[in-house]
Structure 1
Amino acid sequence: MTTTTAHPAPAAPLAPPGAFSLGRRRVAIELKSFFRDRNSAVWNFALPMLLMIIFGSVFGGQTLGPTGITFAQYFVAGMIASGVLYTSFQNLAIAIPMERDDGTLKRIQGTPMPKVSYFIGKIGLVFVAYAAQVTLLILIGVAFYGIELPSGSQWFTFAWASVLGLVSCTLLGIAFSVVPKNAKGASAVVSPIVLVLQFTSGVFFLFQNLPTWMQQFASLFPLKWLTQAMRSVFLPESAAALEVTGSFELAKCAAVLIAWTIGGLVLSLVFFRWNKRGEN
């Protein structure tokens, strides 16, 4: 009588991690890379705070009309919106050309990792950096410039304005990263654009006091609408009188930011390149 020995069935091969799982790992890698470059990390966080302190010290005591709101309070709301632009558009439009020049993007393209995981990592970096930066800006605003924390529906407005602003500016930063010819020139191309948008969008000056053509120019871009939404969050309702239309126009702010999110996605899909110019 012969006996047969039962052999266990071979274990099924482990499924490779999905795009989202790899994307979460990319977030950790992006954060480590960001904070290892101490000069860049410190400058990203320090610049908005330095501007807030300088402008707040020089013009902070000025009262804006009969509202009782000081320029410092108006300016803090604009700088919180600018924090979105710094951590997303400016950061990515400068960092991605550097990764393209040093071959990082080419190496990533040659791996089996889903390409979307790379972008999940960038978006995760932007959200974490913004959360840290906006916390610091709010603390300074509350401690020194009389800003009050949002309450009730203002928190909801802050949430959707932050998310739409971050996503739209992140996508635009990814798309714009093809404009600099090389990594060395990226900062020289991107930083002036950010400054122009700040000056025309009511960050450094009262928006209603700007020339009409400048107001119309700024209205084409997301920062103007983001600053307007943030003013509704951090300023009292009486501050609506300082807007051109006498209203914060939150529905219009949301519509414009959604439109730029869609437009940024299309632009990034069409124009983003993994390789340097002239390479296949």
Structure 2
Amino acid sequence: MIGGATRGAGRAGAVRIARDQLVHAVRALWRTQVVLIFTFAMPLLWLLVVGLLAGNDAVGEDGVRVMQFAAPTAIAMGTFYATLPPVAISVAEARESGVLKRLRGTPLPGWCYFFGQIGAALLFALGSLVVTVLLAVLLYEVRLRPETLLAAAVTLVLGGMAFSAVGLAIGSLSPSASIAEAASIGAAVVLSFISGLFFVGGALPAWLDDVASVFPLKPYADSLQDQFNPFLPGNGWHPANLAVIAAWLLAGTLVSLHAFRWEGSRATGAPRRPFRAPSSAGSSVGSSAGPSAGPSAGSSAGSSVGSSVGPSAGPSPGGSRTSEVRRPSALALLERQAGAALRGTARRPGDVFFSVVLPVGLFALMVTVQPGDTTADGRPAVLAIGASMVTWGAGVAMFMNLSEGVARARDSGQLKRMRGTPLTAVEYLAGRTVAGFTLTVVILAAILLLGAVAYGLRIGPAGLLLGLVVLLLGAVCLAACGFLLATLVPNARAVGTVGLAILFLLSFFSDVFLNDGPEWMGTVGSLFPLKHLQNGLVAAWDTAGAEVPWPDLLVLAVWAAAAGSLAARRFRWEPVTA
């Protein structure tokens, strides 16, 4: 009797621990920026944009609407992004920060930790599902099919578990949280494109379709698509698709069990390096800053003030020692600030992936799936797509990443510490802009090189030079808008979410993804700089002869001046306090 009571109490204790771990994991994921962006913002924005582009006319005698066929893709997108990236990132962050190491010394069983992470991800996937379905039903008259609800529920649960298991495997294998973030989100974005989630109504090449069918997302999305299609008979069961998803669930679980570790790997035999300021704040203060350089003008601020700040001691005529502080030149501060920003970007694989790797990959994919050699308006497809992807890369690097980096430095207090150094706000923001433009030139070079080698893209010297001028003005304009965003939004988490939402939405209004939308959307897009950067690049690269796009340059200059002046006026060194 006593033994049975003890076992019962043990089971009750384990259940209580698992419940508490689930609650903790839900709170932790809610604080993760990627959850808000990819779980809710992306699928809802995508659904709204498709509704604007495709309309919602009736396509059948019984009143079936166009959005009946787009809603399943948004559901698949939301539930997929709610599970795989958040689990991978949260596990890697917990291990890197030492949380898992401390948990190992507690009564928490390993299975309770797994239960909490996967359970929290599934709850967020459920939240995304409910919000997306409600929007689709209320706004677009999407209908649920009672005969396929059971098959859809099984598909959703099995898919969510499989994506969570794969995310857990990625987090277990990744040596750092930044690599887990880049690997998980990068894999999710690539799978989304090759699985056709961003090509509603279009057709991918047969070989790419076959490749995507090996991975779990395409069978998952295809099953949901059929389960919402009112013109298909049957109850919506797809055993072959479920088998592929279940295989990935098993594979992810086995890899996680084998690779999971409570402690991060530590390099052995390497001497500990002296403390240096985090580069994301803005750079490196020169080590020779002496007492006269001001309080804490040194390393913790992270400002690229330079080694020329320091005492110049020498005997005075009266025999006393004096010191002279020499302020670094503005050019030196700008150079060191830009160098520190680039080093910070290089240490963040996610920034490199989204700003460089993804635009280049999308360029290759979009040229591959383009049905002809020209776009709908008669422009060479490779040239138009190249301009679009350079514009997208510049938007990510100059608008989204820069604004988030400034907000992150402000929230962490690094900008506040920089205020005691010779660095001014203008020099700080200028250094960030130079670093972002350098990265944008790398994007430009990679896309043009790939276009020339693989797709026969040819641009004359005059076109290349004029395109560089257009890109420079566009980059400055986007940076000014990004800095303004950082001053308007209270914290870095919100800056990243709002920045991606704005960039994603404007990309569709500005034809960055070459959508054939209604005329009014193009008119709205022409009010903003993204469309004019793309149009300016197309005009500069025109094979018939480079042409200076004066109207586009004027719009970019006006936006740069207006946003830049407002950002400089509103710029603050200290975080917002409640």
* TM-score past 0.5 threshold: yes
**AA paired with 2:244?**
V
Determine the structure 2 residue equivalent to 1:257: 245
Determine the structure 2 residue equivalent to 1:109: 104
Within a 5 Å distance, the mapping from 1:200-215 to structure 2 comes to: 200-206=194-200, 209-215=203-209
CA RMSD of aligned residues (A): 3.1
Q: Deviations over 1:45-72 (max 9, x none)?
A: 222211221233223458999xx97664
**1:59 is the counterpart of 2:47:** no
Determine the structure 1 residue equivalent to 2:169: 175
**AA paired with 2:78?**
G
Is the 2:96–2:177 Cα contact (8 Å) retained in structure 1? yes
Output the CA distance in 2 between the equivalents of 1:171 and 1:41: 17
Q: What percentage of aligned pairs have identical amino acids? A: 29
Single out whichever of 138-147 and 94-103 deviates more from structure 2: 138-147
**1:197 is the counterpart of 2:191:** yes
**1:33 is the counterpart of 2:21:** no
Aligned residue pairs: how many? 261
Output the CA distance in 2 between the equivalents of 1:189 and 1:18: 36
Is the 1:109–1:274 Cα contact (8 Å) retained in structure 2? yes
Determine the structure 1 residue equivalent to 2:217: 223
Residue aligned with 2:70, SS: helix
**1:87 is the counterpart of 2:94:** no
Residue aligned with 1:24, SS: helix
Greater relative contact order (CA < 8 Å, ≥ 6 in sequence): 1
Determine the structure 1 residue equivalent to 2:181: 187
Single out whichever of 72-81 and 200-209 deviates more from structure 2: 200-209
Determine the structure 1 residue equivalent to 2:137: 142
Q: 1:86 Cα shift?
A: 0.9
Q: Deviations over 1:127-156 (max 9, x none)?
A: 2111111011001111233321231x3110
Determine the structure 1 residue equivalent to 2:116: 121
Output the CA distance in 2 between the equivalents of 1:239 and 1:184: 46
Unaligned runs of 5+ in 1: 1-11, 241-247
Match 2:69 to one of 71, 74, 90: 74
Q: 1:235 Cα shift?
A: 2.0
Determine the structure 1 residue equivalent to 2:484: none
Is the 1:78–1:227 Cα contact (8 Å) retained in structure 2? yes
Measured at CA, do residues 83 and 41 of structure 1 come closer, stay the same or move farther in structure 2, by a change above 3 Å?
Answer: closer
Determine the structure 1 residue equivalent to 2:538: none
Q: 1:181 Cα shift?
A: 3.3
Output the CA distance in 2 between the equivalents of 1:62 and 1:185: 44
Determine the structure 2 residue equivalent to 1:268: 256
Determine the structure 2 residue equivalent to 1:158: 152
Residue aligned with 1:184, SS: helix
Q: 1:78 Cα shift?
A: 1.3
Structure exhibiting the larger radius of gyration computed from Cα positions: 2
**1:234 is the counterpart of 2:228:** yes
Output the CA distance in 1 between the equivalents of 2:181 and 2:95: 15
Unaligned runs of 5+ in 2: 269-578
**1:133 is the counterpart of 2:121:** no
Is the 2:145–2:230 Cα contact (8 Å) retained in structure 1? no
Output the CA distance in 2 between the equivalents of 1:116 and 1:40: 25
Output the CA distance in 2 between the equivalents of 1:54 and 1:207: 14
